[in-house]
Structure 1
Amino acid sequence: MLALGAAASAAEPIRIGMIDGLSGPFANAGQAVVRNLNYAIEQVNARGGVKLPDGRHPLELVTYDNKQGVEEALTGLRHFADQHIHFIAQGNSSAVALALSEAIEKHNSRVPDQRMLLLNYAAVDPALTNEKCSFWHFRFDANSDMRMNALTEVIKTDRSARRVYLIGQDYSFGQHLAKVARAQLAAKRPDIAIVGDDLHPIGKIKDFSPYVAKIRASGADTVITGNWGNDLTLLVKAARDAGLNIKFYTFYGNSLGAPAAIGDAGVGRVRAVAEWHPNAGQGASDSASDAYYRAFRRRYPQSEQDYVHLRMHLMIDMLAGAIEKAGSSDALAVAKALEGAVFRNAFHEASMRAADHQLQQPLYVSVMRKVADGSVQFDNEGSGYGFRTERYLPTSFSALPTSCRMQRPR
């Protein structure tokens, strides 16, 4: 842990309460987020913490394991409310995010002197910044419509993609993703046939071979999936074991064991979309992106710890900046300071859209490559496989309209 200055270490910490699955089938995803948030917090604290009128305050992460359940998450929210924690971080489930957003809205109306903010680093259901938007919710990840828009932009020019199979997790995110995939493909590639559309229970399937058999029988040449965590790893492993060498367009195929599970079958075939990836700097000798990635790997050197997402670091940095701008850790003041806030470093720029609290930032679609071939510098999780930029989509392209009609506090 990086040391704090004496003044900051003596001050009352500003606590961030993280509610997410830290045990069960998605424990690896939750623990990876803890590492990323702690890393970002260390960066803020290393420069003295957050400056307020009464001095500098360190940030501190407090975690609650909701076991990936909605009711457990709401229990965690009450737990943090009792501790007067104003900032709640969550992401690994849109169903949980929707429940927390609604609960925080009610809490803030009932207890206006103890308001809370929801900082969303990964829950990508578009409803959260559209018809179910909340003043108290801020999303720092691209939503699923934005991600799918990027993937289908690549599919649009992929003339070998003719028969597409959709597979996803059976909850709000997966259900919406299937609908938007159909709509975007119809608009961009009306010649493509959707030959299958499956939703499976989230976190409960141990053997995906029956699903892979259905994909094979459909004659699909391309799979689109928003699966994450072990649901993605087990799916692609089953496809590899069955010798099903077709293309995968994924949201999260570049992390949490997926590259190693896919192996050589994924080279040139598996694509992922994200706001950044380790090889985004293209190996230039003066690449700030490369330096950023190397710094994270020095902090977390084990292969299984190699899960780094810029959006989580960006979220903490923007929160710290908003608290300083507001001159207070009051949730209402910080929310107003976050609206329109800009993040900028040497290789990335993003801004928080005030209309819906959806972060606007570029997106990368990258394709899996083998490090030994010399086409990428960094691999993922020690797998020997990394991802190379195939398409860079600037903010002007990745931004989408919103239907949010936000109710603002008086």
Structure 2
Amino acid sequence: MNFRRWITRAAAAAATLAGLLMCATATAHAETVRIAMIETFSGAFAPLGQNQLSTLRMATEMANTQRWAGRHSFEVTPFDGKGSPQESLVQLKLAIDQGFRIIAQGNGSGVAAALIEAVNKHNERNPGKEVVFLNYQAIDPDLTNSRCSFWHFRFDANSDMKMEALTSYMAKDAGIRKVYLINQNYSHGHQVTKAAKELLKRKRPDVQIVGDDLHPIATVKDFSPYVAKIRASGADTIITGNWGTDLALLIKAALESDLKAQFYTYYAASSGVPTAMGSAAAGSTRQISYWTPNNETFAGKDLAEAFRRQHGDDLVAIGIHTMVQMLARAISSADSLEPLRIAYALEGMKFKAVNGEVEMRAGDHQLLQPLYISTWSRVDGKKVQVEQEKTGHGWRLDARLDAYVASQPHSCQMRRPARAG
């Protein structure tokens, strides 16, 4: 064989082999990002947990199809924490023992606080085997203040931020004279009560707080005695951070007693509450949220409709969608699945989410995002196009507040590990 021809063929073979090796290497490095979702999948709040699990699965399916994290894919496994800090810690240990390095949770700030502490301890004791905690709904401000952690990221606005926005809107309504506070008796409920009192005193000193009740969480079956107290107080407005069945039963009792008062809520869009409200609550119930499908441009309406088709349920927790998008971007940016690199990539990240421009504040790992105030209203095909729970009603946008309006200073003194080399 001619020497020149032999060299040419050898070079071609070498190039082919190199290409095959590159393909093999790329395939070998394509990994599955396993997310352990520790949530309430049994008991009174199970419908909400199931809705959020469906949302996380829809978001990760989109991520896999559209390759948000490049060659990597996502997989979700549910762990039933039963809404209990103790049981959730058991599930966290099971997840870590099974090799999960990404933890997601949202229902219950008490649960989130326990998880943060446990994650911190695990990561300190197991360098190189750290886990990251992604929080999509536990909104006690302390979680990004006195309890802040490098390993914890919150994708919902905290309760003080929401109350800042809500009271700024309420302050313009001269008809509000007497306010009644009713909340669940745990950290979130305490924070809602505290913030409402402080902010109303500053913005509307003429408004009277005529009642303040804290009731057991997921225990009260009949709220009519509480409603009787609200009626006797003469309150024209009720502020509540209640969620799930506690909010559904409260509003149901108020409607059955024909209580003439406005509700300002955090979670009236959560599973079961729209059905309890029906047409009777139209015009009298408002919500502060980080998104509504009937927003000024109907951004996310397509996602809501797809979710309804796939799961027969309403898309409420759009923050989970944002969480997966930002996690995928962090993985791509860090070019790593290591939690330490992912955490540093998430810090300070700015992103165009469904609900607008958002930023993961580096100082405390609190997502800054627009907030929306909306009123429960009949579907009209114009301002209200997306209904909830087949009630013929949905949320009509009243105001969109830019992130800076509700932004709160933080007191986080975060301990950061050394960056990976």
TM-score, with length taken from structure 1: 0.92
Corresponding residue to 1:378 among 386, 400, 412: 386
> Which residue of 2 is the match for residue 299 of structure 1?
310
> Which residue of 1 is the match for residue 54 of structure 2?
35
Instruction: State whether structure 2 residue 404 is matched by structure 1 residue 404.
Output: no
Structure-to-structure mapping, 1:241-320, within 5 angstroms: 241-281=256-296, 287-300=298-311, 302=312, 305-320=313-328
Residues 346 and 72 of structure 1: CA distance in aligned 2, closer, same or farther (over 3 Å): closer
* Deviation sequence 1:150-207 (CA, Å, 0-9, x none): 1111110111111000000000110111011100000011000000000011001111
> Which residue of 2 is the match for residue 217 of structure 1?
232
SS in 1 for 2:38: strand
Structure-to-structure mapping, 1:220-239, within 5 angstroms: 220-239=235-254
SS in 1 for 2:333: helix
Report if aligned partners of 1:281, 1:289 keep a CA contact under 8 Å in 2. no
2:343 partner letter: A
Paired residues in the alignment total: 393
* Deviation sequence 1:363-384 (CA, Å, 0-9, x none): 0011111115965111111111
> Which residue of 2 is the match for residue 144 of structure 1?
159
* Deviation sequence 1:290-311 (CA, Å, 0-9, x none): 33333333333x2xx1133221
1:392 partner letter: R
> Which residue of 2 is the match for residue 20 of structure 1?
39
* Deviation sequence 1:382-408 (CA, Å, 0-9, x none): 111111111110012121111111111
CA distance in 2 between partners of 1:180 and 1:288 (Å)? 30
> Which residue of 1 is the match for residue 366 of structure 2?
358
Report if aligned partners of 1:307, 1:381 keep a CA contact under 8 Å in 2. no
**Offset at residue 83 of structure 1 (A):** 1.3
SS in 2 for 1:131: coil
**Offset at residue 345 of structure 1 (A):** 4.5
Instruction: State whether structure 2 residue 84 is matched by structure 1 residue 76.
Output: no
Structure-to-structure mapping, 1:1-20, within 5 angstroms: 11-20=30-39
> Which residue of 2 is the match for residue 199 of structure 1?
214
SS in 2 for 1:112: coil
Report if aligned partners of 1:29, 1:229 keep a CA contact under 8 Å in 2. yes
SS in 1 for 2:44: helix
SS in 2 for 1:378: coil
> Which residue of 1 is the match for residue 4 of structure 2?
none
Residues 196 and 406 of structure 1: CA distance in aligned 2, closer, same or farther (over 3 Å): same
- The CA RMSD over aligned residues, in Å, is 1.7
Report if aligned partners of 1:281, 1:290 keep a CA contact under 8 Å in 2. no
* Deviation sequence 1:299-327 (CA, Å, 0-9, x none): 33x2xx11332211000110011011111
> Which residue of 2 is the match for residue 127 of structure 1?
142
**Offset at residue 260 of structure 1 (A):** 2.3
SS in 2 for 1:177: helix
**Offset at residue 57 of structure 1 (A):** 2.2
* Structure 2: stretches of 5+ with no match in the other structure: 1-25
**Offset at residue 103 of structure 1 (A):** 0.6
**Offset at residue 276 of structure 1 (A):** 0.8
Residues 45 and 390 of structure 1: CA distance in aligned 2, closer, same or farther (over 3 Å): same
User: Which is greater in Rg?
Assistant: 2
**Offset at residue 246 of structure 1 (A):** 1.0
Instruction: State whether structure 2 residue 69 is matched by structure 1 residue 46.
Output: no
* Deviation sequence 1:316-361 (CA, Å, 0-9, x none): 1100110111111111110000001122147522110000000010
SS in 1 for 2:279: helix
* Deviation sequence 1:187-231 (CA, Å, 0-9, x none): 011000000000011001111111111111111110000000011
CA distance in 1 between partners of 2:390 and 2:85 (Å)? 34
**Offset at residue 280 of structure 1 (A):** 0.7
SS in 2 for 1:68: coil
2:187 partner letter: S
> Which residue of 2 is the match for residue 182 of structure 1?
197
Q: Hey, which bits of structure 1, 4+ residues long, moved more than 6 A?
A: 7-10
CA distance in 1 between partners of 2:139 and 2:310 (Å)? 28
CA distance in 1 between partners of 2:46 and 2:250 (Å)? 18
CA distance in 1 between partners of 2:65 and 2:412 (Å)? 37
Instruction: State whether structure 2 residue 157 is matched by structure 1 residue 157.
Output: no
Residues 57 and 34 of structure 1: CA distance in aligned 2, closer, same or farther (over 3 Å): same
> Which residue of 2 is the match for residue 328 of structure 1?
336
Q: Which 10-residue stretch deviates more, 158-167 or 345-354?
A: 345-354
Report if aligned partners of 2:370, 2:400 keep a CA contact under 8 Å in 1. yes
TM-score, with length taken from structure 2: 0.90
Q: Which 10-residue stretch deviates more, 395-404 or 91-100?
A: 395-404
1:215 partner letter: I
Instruction: State whether structure 2 residue 374 is matched by structure 1 residue 389.
Output: no
Report if aligned partners of 1:260, 1:385 keep a CA contact under 8 Å in 2. no
CA distance in 2 between partners of 1:213 and 1:384 (Å)? 29
**Offset at residue 250 of structure 1 (A):** 0.1
CA distance in 2 between partners of 1:197 and 1:346 (Å)? 36
SS in 2 for 1:25: coil
CA distance in 2 between partners of 1:81 and 1:192 (Å)? 50
Report if aligned partners of 1:8, 1:57 keep a CA contact under 8 Å in 2. no
* Structure 1: stretches of 5+ with no match in the other structure: 1-6
2:384 partner letter: V
SS in 2 for 1:88: strand
